[in-house]
Amino acid sequence: MGDNILTDCYLERQKRTKWFTDARFGMFIHWGLYSIPARGEWVRSKERMSIEDYEPFFKEFNPVNYNPREWARAARNAGMKYAVLTAKHHDGFCLFDSKLTDYKATNTPAGKDLVREYVDAFHAEGLKVGLYYSLLDWHHEDYPAYSDSHHPMRGNENFKNKKHDFSRYIEYLHGQVKELLSNYGKIDIIWFDFSYDDNRGEKWEASKLVKMVRSLQSDIIIDNRLGGNLRSRNPEIYAGDFECPEQIIPPEGVLNEDGLPLPWEACITLNNNWGYCSKDKDFKSPKQIIRAIVECVSKGGNMLLNVGPNSKGEIPEESLKVLSEVGKWMKQNSKSVYGCGKSQYAKPEWGRYTQNGKKLYAHIYDRGIGPINFKGLNGKVAKARLLSDGSEVKLLKPWNTGNYPDDLFIELGSQKLPDENDTVIELDLDL
Ligand code: GLC
């Protein structure tokens, strides 16, 4: 390692994010007024909807079946260890009882603080709790509209000469973050979204914001969307603790400029929308999600898998079905996910490796023909077990492998994989 590239900042961040990088798998929850139009969370912007056009949803919002304990159980049974709920999305609607606005769930027919119930329920089920907070606010009168890139009233002549006091908006933003991190007990993640154009860094007064965040919740971890450069050796105070690549798994994982691994979390939708979209039935399969989780872990990252509850407060059945199937696989194989990361061995042709110290996990996707090859592992493995049931997997040097003396082979004893989603073999490395 070069001189002092393991900076105090780097080491403190690794310590602060240890629970997160061990957890590997969380639930993202996008929920709010947009669940009524049911065309995704950007509906106001995409359809240039005025506040007046959107107002009926505020007057109507009444999630009669909201039961966050059920959400938490679904997350826990899927093998998720933490969750992040949209406390306020870009439309400015607050799911929490903010004293700084009337635009909140307590003033709708819902009539209660939905964040409070979420935090209590997920803590009760033993999960860590995160809150997503939008830096954008299309409802606040001091958030620029006409010249903005995303505001629903962008380019609307009626807004051309409207005056905004952006410093008053920043005061509101900081005040609400203070409410969220003061009034709901221990919060483990604050997930800001998002910086764009010149709206980044100190435009949000991000240094002051992060100092306050860390003063209120000393162990909290922060995403990197305040606009800093987390990959720098000397990142800004507001660069955050983890990267959050969206709808993509970074091909090579995430490293800083010194080539050191950084915590990261791929946030992925189950269909193609974050917020509830009734027509979007394009759901990923359990196999896709299982293999995506393994891919993230094999590259040293996490997966934050999204659900978009409907206006009644129900997670869609299609989402619950996928979560349940993923949970069955996790129940048998989570040792190959939790606390694991990138292996010292190159990706094998039949699947992927994850590793946790002396435990190497072979995730076999492609049965292939004959004995399964573990390149360069001959003499390095003490024993192998099928992770799902602990049964012995014999280490072999079959007659037809004489030309590959450095390699180890195993025989699964069948042309079919025990688990077509992902058959996991636990190898004890004799390091
Ligand atoms: C994008 C979307 C936003 C969503 C976020 C999740 O920023 O605009 O709606 O909350 O991704 O990562």
- Which amino acid is it at 325? E
- Which amino acid is it at 237? I
User: Phi and psi dihedrals of 154, rounded to 5?
Assistant: -60, 135
Atom of ligand 1 nearest to the CA of 306: 6
Q: 211 by DSSP, 3-state: which?
A: helix
Give yes or no for residue 267 CB within 6 A of ligand 1: yes
Give yes or no for residue 426 CB within 6 A of ligand 1: no
Question: Which pLDDT score, from 0 to 100, does residue 413 have?
Answer: 83
Question: Which pLDDT score, from 0 to 100, does residue 1 have?
Answer: 47
Instruction: pLDDT tens for the chain, 431 residues: list them.
Output: 455 689 999 999 999 999 999 999 999 999 999 999 999 999 999 999 999 999 999 999 999 999 999 999 999 999 999 999 999 999 999 999 999 999 999 999 999 999 999 999 999 999 999 999 999 999 999 999 999 999 999 999 999 999 999 999 999 999 999 999 999 999 999 999 999 999 999 999 999 999 999 999 999 999 999 999 999 999 999 999 999 999 999 999 999 999 999 999 999 999 999 999 999 999 999 999 999 999 999 999 999 999 999 999 999 999 999 999 999 999 999 999 999 999 999 999 999 999 999 999 999 999 999 999 999 999 999 999 999 999 999 998 888 999 999 999 998 889 999 999 999 999 999 86
Instruction: Evaluate the omega torsion of the peptide bond into residue 194 and state whether it is cis, within 30 degrees of 0.
Output: yes
Contact (CB, 8 A) for 73 and 67: no
Question: Which pLDDT score, from 0 to 100, does residue 412 have?
Answer: 87
Question: Residue 192 pairs with which residues in a beta bridge?
Answer: 133
Nearest CA to ligand 1 atom 5: 193
Distance 424 CA to ligand 1 centre (A): 33
Tokens for 151, please give them: 């505001």
Total-model pTM: 0.97
How many angstroms separate the first and last alpha carbons of the chain? 22
Distance 193 CA to ligand 1 centre (A): 7
DSSP string for residues in 99-157: TT-S-BGGGSTT-S-HHHHHHHHHHHTT-EEEEEEES--SS-TTS--TT-SS-TTTT-G
Contact (CB, 8 A) for 344 and 355: yes
Length of the chain: 431
Q: Cα–Cα distances in Å, from 365 out to 133, 348, 362?
A: 38, 10, 9
Q: Please name the residue that has the structure tokens 């979204």.
A: 193
Contact (CB, 8 A) for 27 and 80: yes
Closest CA to 410 of 421, 420, 425, 428: 425
Atom of ligand 1 nearest to the CA of 193: 7
Atom of ligand 1 nearest to the CA of 90: 9
C-beta neighbour count of 65 within 10 angstroms? 11
Give yes or no for residue 194 CB within 6 A of ligand 1: yes
Distance 305 CA to ligand 1 centre (A): 13
CA–CA distance, 165 with 18 (Å, rounded to integer): 40
